[in-house]
Amino acid sequence: MTSVAQTTSTPSQSAPTQLDPAVEAAAFKRLYPRKYLSRFLEHDRRPDGRPTDSWREVGVNAGAVSTANGSALIRLGDTTVVCGIKAETAEPDWDRPNEGWLVPNVDLPAISSPNFKPGPPVDEAQVFSQQIYDLLISSNVLPLRKLGIRPGKSAWVLYIDIVCINYDGNAFDAAVLAVMTALRNTVLPVATYDEDADQTICSRTETRNLKDDLRSIPLACTFGIFDNKYLLPDPSAFELPLCPTTITIAIDSTDPTSSSKSKSKSTKAAEPRIRLVRQEGMGGYAGKAGIEVVGECIGAAKARVRELSEKLYGQ
């Protein structure tokens, strides 16, 4: 803790006033954000006190919302997201009569950040929604056939709504973890289609856990690159706008409790699949750039996903 206090006072030395150091640091941070950040990184610290190459602490709380079929509350440092899954029934599309729907939507509402306004989802939220949809479909997290009730007549629609309450950067990683935790937490009633009434009827007593139908559980890890020099895992809301390039990697998680048993069966399972690699911004031509940095990210992401898996499967 003492080292944190020391680094907090470092950048404030040149701030041009005479007040309490914490206020001075806040003033310096506001006027010269880039300088503020590089002062910290020169001392191998992030402005929130963690070492440069570290991630923020994760809190996972499954089943937080009783009005949803499945839910999760995730804290990533101060970033807080809630995911609630509500199931409804609908008539399947004619061209895929056996399949249901996954409908993920991310909202970054005005409550979560001073930079968001009330109204329809901001651009960032729209991009996140599409990316989570793509991740769910391309990774075959939940085969859509598992959501069929009666071919051509009835299927489940899972509305997966992710709402950010406190946006301190990197909401995407938190949102992906929230979706996966909520899917594992989802309980559906056993449903049958009543031909005569043209209606889907749900049992009041029999349920099924969606957990048993999940094929893979990818988790996302995001990095920012600052000044072509520093690779910042899990960038905060303050750091994110200062990073022209971000890299996101999603890797399949493995259940740490079951992996010990399955190891003997196949060695292939030991190497988790990479589900997504995305670089936003063109990256640099010197320093932290190019294929090397992507390799570095993948290495760091693997370690992080192992850490996240323990939280996820511990629920």
- Residues 174-193 binding other proteins (CB under 8 A) are 187, 189, 191
Does residue 239 belong to the site contacting other proteins (CB under 8 A)? no
Residue 93 or 292: which CB sits closer to other proteins? 93
CB of 61 to other proteins, least distance (A): 12
Residue 23 or 303: which CB sits closer to other proteins? 23
Q: Is 137 helix (H, G, I), strand (E, B) or coil?
A: helix
Work out the angle at residue 148's Cα, subtended by the Cα atoms of residues 142 and 154, and round it to the nearest 5 degrees.
Answer: 140
Segment 9-48, which members bind other proteins (CB under 8 A)?
16-20, 22-27, 29-31, 48
Residue 69 or 254: which CB sits closer to other proteins? 69
Quick one: which of 88, 198, 271, 292 contacts other proteins (CB under 8 A)? 88
Does residue 301 belong to the site contacting other proteins (CB under 8 A)? no
Distance CA 10, CA 294 (A): 32
Number of H helices, E strands in the chain: 7, 12
- Tell me the torsion sign for CA atoms 278, 71, 215, 297: positive
How many CB atoms are closer than 10 A to CB 68? 21
231: which DSSP letter? E
Residue 100 or 272: which CB sits closer to other proteins? 100
Task: Output the furthest CA–CA distance in the chain (Å, rounded).
Answer: 81
Segment 106-145, which members bind other proteins (CB under 8 A)?
109-115, 117-118, 120-121, 126, 129-130, 133
Does residue 157 belong to the site contacting other proteins (CB under 8 A)? yes
Question: Is 205 exposed, middle or buried (CB count within 10 Å of its CB: 0-12, 13-18, 19+)?
Answer: exposed
Does residue 206 belong to the site contacting other proteins (CB under 8 A)? yes
Residue 85 or 225: which CB sits closer to other proteins? 85
